[in-house]
Structure 1
Amino acid sequence: MRLGLDVLFLRHRHRLRGKRIGIVVHPASLDRQRRHAIERFASASDFRLTAIFGPQHGLRGETQDNMIEWEGWRDPKLGIPVFSLYGATRMPTPEMLADVDVLVFDLQDVGTRVYTYIWTMALCMKAVAREGREMIVVDRPNPIGGVHVEGPVLQQGFESFVGMFPIPLRHGMTVGELARLFNEAFGIGCRLQVIPMEGWRRDLWYDQTNLLWVPPSPNMPTLETATVYPGMVLVEGTLLSEGRGTTRPFELIGAPFIDPDRVAAELRAEKLPGVFFRPCYFQPTFHKYAGQLCGGVQVHVLDRARFKPVLTAVAFLKAIHRLYPEQFQWRPPPYEYVFDRLPFDILAGTDRLRQQIVEDRPLREIEESWRADLERFRPLRRAYLMYA
């Protein structure tokens, strides 16, 4: 298969010729020959690379957590600016785009609404529209496939940098498809060209593409992490550990007060599809409960086609809230620059899910409560899908 980056240079190079190019990239911006996008653009003679932009976690992928900002610099080898889109601004300023004719976006997403790269893309599109420039999005696989959608759809009033438009937690789209959706259905209206991949199918998982997995962020080390992330990211909205500071973030979840066997038994009784909960202990080296022994579970996905990450995470949170009502706590603000709402509600895109967990509503009822919004989203989504 060919990535959008490969197809751009192979079939659409004329779109770049003679122009000043800015690129939005990170460590995972490799072509299928494992060459980095910066190398590809900087070595060209028929156009000029004039600016590099990096998202949350930095151009080099070194910053760990939300609201850890980084500053840009001037690249000593290329002699061009590196601009931070996770610092003083998250949208390119007029000054940043002053020497750019075409902005090329090439970030690897993980298929979850709250992963911020798609919102960096949306803000870049808005900036390009404002400045009268052109935007090219070179497409990449959704690593967890492009078939399934799950979870609550973002509700009005809960917009943030982890959700600007009404899409579900697991959206089942590629960045290129999302760019078209954002531009047309949600009214950004920039001059947009999406360069599709060749040879990718919706049913493919990342390990079926023969592409190298490069962690797109520090706590996304493996495809297994990305598989559980659409649900387990909700644990960030509590004072439970989501496993940051371990070698298995978002797969190891727990807290010092949790009895692993008791929680695992509760979860197994739910008979959730495609998953096994192994009782375990872990000790984070940083982040929540650094240096403390935590009890909890490891989420082992046995059948990823049947696994429901969001429902699984809700089952875990319900179990902890039910078993440990005195110790369970929601994380206080701020979260991703929102200071007036609970982080859990920002992540969920609604306050209804938190209320359902507090009330210990049945899992089936919670899942059913997502259905109407998901059914409205599906035909909208379908109009922008580019792959079979």
Structure 2
Amino acid sequence: MLRLASSFLSVPSSLPHLLALLLALLAPAASAMELGIDRLESRGFDSLKGKRVGLITNQTGVNSAGRRTREILAKAKGVNLAALFTPEHGLDGKELAGKYVANRKDPVTGVTAHSLYGPTRKPTPEMLKGLDVLIYDMQDIGVRSYTYVSTMARCMEAAGECGLEFMVLDRPNPLGGLRVEGPPVEPQWISFVGQLPVPYVHGMTCGELARMLNDRKWMSAQCKLTVVKMQGWERPMVWRDTGLPWVQTSPNIPRADSPAYYVATGIVGSLAGLETGVGGPNPFEICAGKGVNPDSFSNTIKNLGLDGVQVRPYTAGGFSGCRLVIDPKAKGDLCVLALALLVETNRASKPDLFAKSPADKLDIFWKVYGSTTIRDQLRQGTSVQKIAQAWKPGVEKFREERKPYLFY
């Protein structure tokens, strides 16, 4: 065998072929990922021919080459893009969290973009008049409190009430499809920052969530639902595994790893008196308060032993605490990390964070966390482990309940 190989290598004419083979093996693999919009386009938009389309989208609605979905549909033969609908942060994703978004004319397509983050969070019958189908194409981040799936749920409800078809163009969950963790949301705290009764991190794509919420009747009306599935996505994949470019989903989710940090500090950041990096170059990557000892605080978080999570002492601008470095594929429970950050910053705060926070901030916190019980638990000195242990039955129940709705 060695003699044969040596003889083959000695033939000069074979060298270009060997070099080409080596280059092919060493070259970075092109993305084999096809998004829902790619697959719809590859079919020639056959299911949309002759229909008046309303598209729920923003700057994240792009195909795998980065071309805007609204532009693709506007130019597709036989498709009539008649209306756009925009979520929190607006059509371009530049509006700050919680700020009302105005209606506007889209300069790309010339179509009116109706705001679903202003006087209404749900399309009105007047907005939907004359449409045949609503299409949803936006990039979610896999966390219950991120409002894009809340917009999807309310649009599905409106479609059901008005007898419209509803289509979801599926996209990857940037946290992957295996991470399911965190507190549930109690029925009385269902809101736009917690519209669906799922764990804080649900591990589903928007198409899978749409299928589940429609079948389980989580909204008051159900719609005729179609999900255009992806091709090439698997549950262990985080965003960096997809080979796709990341489009900033909102002002404080600038990078593909930002969703992991959002899980870690997004809950505690609802309370007053804390610094999480929001508004700066490293949003959600910091957890700091007044009167916190950065070294002991960081050591306490390190001692949790969460795989894939690094902690460094942080002090700036009168705040001290820790700076986080999280591997998106971290095996550690990021909601346990979030809970520990809350427990330790609350312990150092005098008075505690709940007493410091005005009513409007507390209201948001209860809605994001999904319950008021955490305040009493912290004031009674309940451990991180005991609180997190109480989440587990709900998480495991959800894992079983979601199985029939998974596409991948």
| TM-score, with length taken from structure 2 | 0.87
Q: Mapping of 1:57-76 within 5 angstroms?
A: 57-66=89-98, 68-76=99-107
Distance 1:252 1:231, change over 3 A: closer
Once residues 124 and 383 of structure 2 are traced to their aligned partners in structure 1, the CA distance between those partners, rounded to angstroms, is 47
> Which of 14, 38, 42 is matched with 1:6 structurally?
38
| Residue identity in the other structure for 2:392 | R
Q: Give the AA of the match of 2:351.
A: E
Distance in 2, matches of 1:201 and 1:77, equals 33
**Separation in 2, partners of 1:43, 1:303:** 37
In structure 2, how many angstroms separate the alpha carbons of the residues matched to 1:11 and 1:176? Answer: 19
Which residue of 2 is the match for residue 381 of structure 1?
402
Match in the other structure for 2:223: 190
Q: Who is 1:228 aligned against?
A: 261
State whether residues 244 and 250 of structure 1, in contact with CA within 8 Å, keep that contact through their aligned partners in structure 2: yes
Structure 1 unaligned blocks of 5 or more? 283-291, 336-340
Give 3-state SS (helix, strand or coil) of 2:85's partner: strand
AA matched with 2:373: R
State whether residues 238 and 331 of structure 1, in contact with CA within 8 Å, keep that contact through their aligned partners in structure 2.
yes
Residue deviations 1:13-44 (CA, integer Å, cap 9, x gap): 21100111111111111101110111101111
Letter in 2 for 1:163: G
1:84 corresponds to which of 103, 115, 118: 115
Offset at 1:223?
2.2
| Structure 2 runs not aligned, ≥5 long | 1-32
Aligned pair 1:136/2:167, yes or no?
yes
In structure 1, distance between residues paired with 2:217 and 2:292: 43
Residues of 2 paired with 1:79 and 1:218: CA distance?
25
Structure 1 pair 95–115 and aligned structure 2 pair: CA distance change class (3 A): same
Alpha-carbon distance, 1:360 to partner? 2.6
Q: How far does the alpha carbon of each residue in 1:107-133 deviate from its partner, in whole angstroms, 9 at most, with x for none?
A: 100010000000100000011111111
Instruction: Find the counterpart in structure 2 of residue 149 from structure 1.
Output: 180
CA deviation after TM superposition for structure 1 residue 235, in Å: 1.5
- Equivalent residue in structure 2 for 1:160, among 185, 191, 196: 191
Q: What is the root-mean-square deviation of aligned Cα atoms in Å?
A: 1.8
1:275/1:303 contact within 8 Å kept: no
Residue 248 of structure 1: aligned partner: 282
One of 307, 327, 332 as aligned partner of 2:332? 307
Does 2:370 correspond to 1:349? yes
The answer to whether the 8 Å contact 2:309/2:326 transfers is yes
> Are 2:45 and 2:76, in contact at CA under 8 Å, matched by a contact in 1?
no
CA distance in 1, matches of 2:166, 2:81: 14
Read off the aligned partner of 1:384 and give its amino acid letter: Y
SS in structure 2 opposite 1:179? helix
Quote the offset at 1:256 in angstroms. 4.1
Residue 24 of structure 1 is matched in structure 2 by 56
Query: C-alpha displacement at 1:163, in angstroms?
Result: 1.3
Q: 2 CA distance for matches of 1:303 and 1:20?
A: 40
Contact 1:331 1:344 in 2 (8 A): no
Q: For the Cα contact (< 8 Å) 2:307–2:330, is it kept in 1?
A: no
Do the aligned residues in 2 keep the contact of 1:152 with 1:370 (CA within 8 Å)? yes
Asked whether the 8 Å contact 2:238–2:328 carries over to 1, the reply is no
Q: Which amino acid aligns with 2:157?
A: K
Q: Write the letter of the residue equivalent to 2:358.
A: P
* In structure 2, distance between residues paired with 1:303 and 1:113: 18
Structure 2 counterpart of 1:280: 314
Letter in 2 for 1:47: V
Distance in 1 (alpha carbons) for counterparts of 2:102 and 2:370: 29
1:257 positional shift: 3.5
Q: Could you tell me how far apart the structure 1 residues matched to 2:314 and 2:52 are?
A: 53
Q: In the alignment, is residue 265 of structure 1 matched against residue 299 of structure 2?
A: yes
Q: How far apart, in 1, do the equivalents of 2:111 and 2:286 lie?
A: 41
Counting only pairs closer than 5 Å after superposition, residues 106-145 of structure 1 correspond to structure 2 as 106-145=137-176
1:68-116 deviation line (CA, Å, top 9, x unaligned): 1011122356432111010011100111111321111001000100000
Cα distance in 1, alignment partners of residues 404 and 205 from structure 2 = 13
Segment of structure 1 superposing worse, 199-208 or 222-231: 222-231
Do 1:165 and 1:186's aligned partners in 2 also have CA atoms closer than 8 Å?
Answer: no
Higher helix fraction (1 or 2): 2
In the alignment, structure 1 residue 323 sits paired with structure 2 residue 344 = no
**Aligned-partner Cα distance in 1 for 2:378–2:291:** 19
- C-alpha distance in 1 between matches for 2:363 and 2:110: 43
User: Residue type of the partner of 1:334?
Assistant: D
1:64 CA displacement:
1.2
* Structure 1 residue 197: Cα displacement: 0.2
2:388 counterpart (356, 367, 379): 367
Does the CA contact (< 8 Å) of 1:232 and 1:310 recur in 2? no
Partner amino acid for 1:50?
A
Whether the 8 Å contact between 1:257 and 1:327 is mirrored in structure 2 is no
From the CA coordinates, give the structure whose radius of gyration is larger: 2
Show the counterpart of 2:73.
Answer: 41
Amino acid in structure 2 at the alignment position of 1:41:
L
Letter in 1 for 2:271: T
Q: Which runs of 4+ in 1 moved over 6 A?
A: none
**Structure 1 residues 179 and 220: CA distance shift in structure 2, 3 A:** same
| Whole-angstrom distance in 1 between the partners of 2:131 and 2:292 | 53
TM-score under structure 1 length normalisation: 0.91
**Alignment partner, residue 379 of structure 2:** 358
3-state DSSP of counterpart to 2:210 = helix
Q: Percent identity?
A: 36
